[in-house]
Amino acid sequence: MIHPLVRGTGGASRLGRVRFWVPFLLVVAGSLWALERLAGPVEAAEFSTIDLRRVKLAAPPGGFCDPRWRSELSATLARFEAPDARDKPALEAIARALGALPFVVEAGEPHVIWPDGLEIPVRLCEPVACVRSGDDFRIVSAEGVIEPGTWPEPPLLDGRPLPVIGPNDGAFDRKAPGAHLAERRHQDALAVALSMRSGLSASDAATLGPLLIDATRSPETSVEEPGTLLEFGAKRLALFGRAPGSGQPGELPDELKWRSLAKAAALLRSEGTREPQDWSVVDLRWDTPALRMRHEPPPGPDSAAPKPSKNSKPPMPAGRVHELSHTQPNPTLPQTPGVR
């Protein structure tokens, strides 16, 4: 159920008044907004006529709204004649038109604020990823909908760059706003992006930088096949395995994978007297993940790894391999505070 967030009936002094339960709804239901037209002077128009040109999008604290969405919303309202406040079918038709916009997840029941005010609660999409379309990027919602508006680079949201759903092979160049992610590889990448928002802190995501998620081979994950690839800036690669929700037996829980990545991200930051330690590959698929440090000489002929057995880890690319322990600190990855 969607609840109105802002109410106004007597003029601009009511603008921005938000009920105390708004933050709770924001957490549970996503980005909630209210379309509000404050009541104007009665003598300025017919007593019960609602002037849709004065409808505005009122945002709750912390809500995301691309300014271009406001323009598209205004254009949608401009197609309607000013309705009578007593004409319920006309008001419901307006709400349905708003609910059909790509960036609106749901539109609630219109509420008339007498004498000539209108409030329509709407739930806007929650951006969780983006896709490359030509030379630009488009936002993708948690529902897997490509939203209108392009960006020259992946936008920042809550201090972290939105991950790009890969592999950037031109699949979205001709997709129109409102299209859904239909291919399995893109849906799997979206599942990784959704899991990451709750499993990896904003500070760790910012440390790791821009991310491309390539889940093309997620269903084929095996000992030899790394499955989903997380490609970060500075040529850093994380091997993720199967996408969240695969339901395959033996797959490591997602929260352990994100914990391993958080520990690897901590290595890239200086802490106290410890200098940052750079790495190029981290394998998140195992209880004790492996990390290959950067700029280390390849192992000598006497240290060549044996051929893996059926249940062993595959060999990492040339370079010294370190193991990240979830339970004990080690020389290359100090125990992260707060992680047991």
- Predicted confidence at residue 35, as pLDDT, reads 67
Closest CA to 172 of 148, 142, 144, 137: 137
Give per-residue pLDDT as tens, 293-339. 987 655 555 544 444 444 444 545 444 445 554 433 333 333 323 22
Give Dmax (Cα) for the chain: 92
* Domain range list for the chain: 12-124, 127-323
Most confident of 1-5, 10-14, 257-261, 311-315: 257-261
Question: What average pLDDT does this structure show over 3-27?
Answer: 31
Q: Is the pTM value of this prediction over 0.85?
A: no
* pLDDT band with cut points at 50, 70 and 90 for residue 21: very low
- Using DSSP, state whether 120 is helix, strand or coil: strand
Give per-residue pLDDT as tens, 245-280. 877 787 899 999 999 999 999 999 988 778 889 999
- Predicted confidence at residue 3, as pLDDT, reads 36
Residue at token pair 């924001």: 26
What are 157's strand-pairing partners? 160
- Compute the distance between CA of residue 313 and CA of residue 10 in angstroms, rounded to an integer: 68
Sheet containing 321-323, strands listed edge to edge, beginning at the edge strand earlier in sequence: 146-151, 136-141, 127-133, 164-165, 211-214, 228-232, 236-241, 279-283, 290-293, 321-323
- Predicted confidence at residue 44, as pLDDT, reads 44
| Side-chain-side CA neighbours of residue 176 (13 Å) | 3
The answer to whether the beta carbons of residues 293 and 320 sit under 8 Å apart is yes
- Predicted confidence at residue 190, as pLDDT, reads 97
